Amino acid sequence: MDISRLKGNLRVRISKYMSYLLRHNPENLRMDEYGFVSLDELLEKIREHFPVDRRLITEIVRGDDKGRFEIVDNKIRALYGHSIPVNLRLEEDRDNRVYYHGTTPNAALKILKEGLKPMGRRWVHLSPTVDVAREVGYRRTRRPVILEINADAARRDGVKFYKATEKVYLCGVIPPRYIRRVEG
Ligand code: HQG
């Protein structure tokens, strides 16, 4: 990846680089089947590009507004967003009766016809509230469309939803019959 193109302050750029390595391309890092790499190896790799120490990495992880990463023992992984195959072993969520998905008007039209698909990632990403979905949508458009997923009905038909973080839930393909437009 072209590190010089990463935008934001130092912490944001480091976080984006971590997301790149842990979600999409670990390069020479050894990653286990659950998506974890050694924190020391990651640190060494980030140091090739940024002046960091272990404390800064743990601060970035702890202070992350979306809980993007998880540190367990001396290992670190991304909790969502992967395009590479990993077995996250997340807990199934049976509490939320609906989820939301914020997207562009164009994508929303397609989704209502074909269903929600993971596209470039391993899983479809859903939000627990309209507000969170709106934030996700704002990444791509000034006028996000918010779709509601009827999780109760989908679960009855065998669909499973997994909690990645407080703000991100993951699932496989969602057929259009469980999806309706609620805003935008
Ligand atoms: C769309 C960020 C056409 C889908 C965010 C989305 C999130 C379809 C795009 C997390 C489609 C995929 C994930 C279909 C889905 N036809 N378009 N059938 N099905 N789409 O980035 O959910 O900051 O892979 O609506 O905040 O936008 O990186 O998914 O627009 O939490 O931590 O295809 O990534 O978090 O885009 O975002 P993405 P997403 P981070």
pLDDT value at residue 171 = 98
| Distance from the first to the final alpha carbon of the chain | 35
Quote the pTM value: 0.97
How high is the pLDDT of residue 73?
95
| Strands laid side by side in the 75-78 sheet | 37-38, 75-78, 69-72
Please give the pLDDT value at position 177: 98
Q: What letter does residue 93 receive in the DSSP assignment?
A: P
Rounded Cα–Cα distance for residues 105 and 133 (Å): 14
Residue of the CA atom closest to atom 8 of ligand 1: 107
Q: How far is the CA of 166 from the centre of ligand 1 (A)?
A: 17
Strand partners, 48: none
Domain 98-183: give its CATH architecture: Alpha-Beta Barrel (3.20)
Residues making up the chain, counted from first to last? 184
Q: Which atom of ligand 1 is nearest to the CA of 135?
A: 26
* Residue ranges of domains in the chain: 3-78, 98-183
Q: Which residue's C-alpha comes closest to atom 7 of ligand 1?
A: 136
Ligand 1 pocket at CB < 6 A = 66, 68, 81, 103, 107, 110-111, 114-117, 119-121, 125, 136, 140, 168
Tell me what pLDDT residue 135 has.
97
Which ranges of the chain have pLDDT less than 50?
A: none
Cα angle for residues 129, 107, 84 (degrees, 5° grid): 80
CATH number of the domain located at residue range(s) 3-78 in this protein = 1.10.10.970
Q: For residue 120, what pLDDT is reported?
A: 96
